[in-house]
């Protein structure tokens, strides 16, 4: 079989044009990346079995560039804002992660004032692979960093660290986000009400069922209900759930007893559930 072209595209990179082709021959399907510029022409061939690894490597490279760009802005003079002690930087995010899923994850570790996935400057619908989460206190940031760094979110091990500061002018990005939010969302920890019968369970395997989670949590007491949380219009698993116990004493015991226990190959994170 001669080389058959299945897909082709190209883009400009400086003075060179990069061609990306998917082709097929007697040996199988492969990806061909070729650059043309001036009198030079170079190409590489990648077998189909390695294309997923290439995609992941490119994802990580793009996310690293986004993080470097953020650090560069923070380190420059000329009005760059100082670090906000109540903000943490979350890197290595999946392209699928949204503001809502980011908020949902971190709300289990404190009062989240704002959570925003940073979008590309040239494509407002494409994530840069990192985000900022602002808490009500610096202590909650430290706790979130210690608990969430390396946690799985939408299939990626996220990287969580203290924010180095961002934005220009007298106020940083996180402060501007807070000002733009409705006042009713700027709540303090004191305004939160813990539901005595429910716990919030995170880091679940996407294949875990409600029955399996109920059986696992029953070691702490009688389980009244389990709700696996989903995200997006496609209702994809979010890796988190709300478990309701019949008795408040069982829910209180579950936070300590189930924290770090393994279910379907995942170490669970269990927190008190806030009803508002």
User: What pLDDT, on a 0 to 100 scale, did the predictor assign at position 126?
Assistant: 80
Residue 167 has what pLDDT? 39
User: Would you state the pLDDT for residue 184?
Assistant: 39
Q: According to the model, what pLDDT value does residue 276 have?
A: 53
Residue 122 is predicted with a pLDDT of 67
pLDDT for position 175: 45
Cα within 13 Å of Cα(221), Cβ side: 20
pLDDT value, residue 185: 38
Structure confidence at residue 81 (pLDDT): 47
Q: Please state, in angstroms and rounded to a whole number, the distance separating the CA atoms of residues 213 and 198.
A: 14
Residue with tokens 């994809």: 236
Question: What is the rounded CA–CA span in Å between residue 271 and residue 22?
Answer: 47
Q: Which residues contact 57 (CB under 8 A, 6 or more apart)?
A: none
The per-residue pLDDT for 14 is 74
Phi and psi at residue 110, in whole multiples of 5°?
155, -175
Of 189, 176, 96, residue with least CA distance to 141: 189
pLDDT in tens for each of the 276 residues of the chain? 567 887 788 877 777 788 888 888 888 888 888 887 555 567 888 887 777 777 767 766 665 565 555 445 445 444 444 567 889 999 888 888 999 999 989 988 888 899 999 887 667 778 888 889 999 888 889 888 988 888 888 888 898 998 875 433 334 444 443 443 444 334 444 445 678 899 989 889 999 999 999 999 999 899 999 999 887 677 788 888 999 999 888 898 898 899 889 999 988 988 888 765
Tokens matching residue 216:
């696992």
The DSSP annotation for 77-129 comes to -SSPPPPPTTEEEEES--TT--HHHHHHHHGGGS-EEEEEEEEPSS-TTSEEE
For residues 73 and 242, give the distance between their C-alpha atoms in angstroms, rounded to a whole number.
39
Query: What structural domains and CATH numbers belong to the chain?
Result: 4-51 (3.10.450.700), 76-190 (3.30.70.330), 193-274 (3.30.70.330)
The pLDDT, as a whole number, for residue 99 is: 92
What pLDDT is stored for residue 183 in this prediction?
A: 43
Tell which residue, 155, 86, 85, has the closest CA to residue 114. Answer: 86
């Amino acid at each position: 079989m001669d080389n058959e072209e299945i897909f082709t595209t190209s883009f400009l990179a400086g003075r060179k044009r990069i061609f990306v082709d998917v082709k097929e021959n007697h040996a199988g399907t492969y990806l061909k990346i070729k650059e043309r510029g001036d009198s030079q022409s170079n190409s590489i061939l990648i077998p189909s079995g390695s294309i997923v690894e290439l995609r992941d490597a490119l994802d990580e490279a793009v996310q690293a560039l986004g993080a470097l760009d953020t650090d560069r802005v923070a380190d420059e003079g000329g009005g760059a804002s100082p670090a906000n002690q109540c903000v943490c930087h979350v890197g290595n995010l999946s392209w699928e992660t949204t503001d809502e899923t980011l908020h949902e994850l971190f709300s289990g570790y404190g009062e989240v004032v704002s959570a925003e996935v940073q979008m590309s400057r040239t494509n407002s619908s494409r994530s840069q692979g990192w985000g900022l989460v602002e808490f009500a206190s610096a202590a909650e940031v430290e706790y979130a960093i210690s608990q969430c760094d390396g946690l799985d979110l939408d299939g990626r091990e996220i990287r969580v660290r203290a924010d180095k500061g961002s934005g220009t002018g007298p106020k940083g990005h996180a402060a501007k986000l807070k000002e733009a939010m409705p006042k009713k969302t700027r709540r303090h920890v004191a305004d939160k009400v813990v539901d005595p019968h429910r716990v919030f369970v995170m880091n679940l395997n996407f294949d875990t069922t409600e029955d399996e989670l109920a059986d696992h949590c029953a070691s702490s007491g009688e389980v009244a209900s389990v709700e696996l949380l989903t995200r997006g219009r496609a209702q994809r698993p979010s890796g988190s759930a709300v478990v309701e116990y019949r008795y408040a004493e069982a829910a209180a015991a579950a936070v300590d007893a189930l924290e770090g226990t393994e279910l379907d190959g995942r170490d669970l994170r269990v927190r008190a559930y806030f009803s508002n």
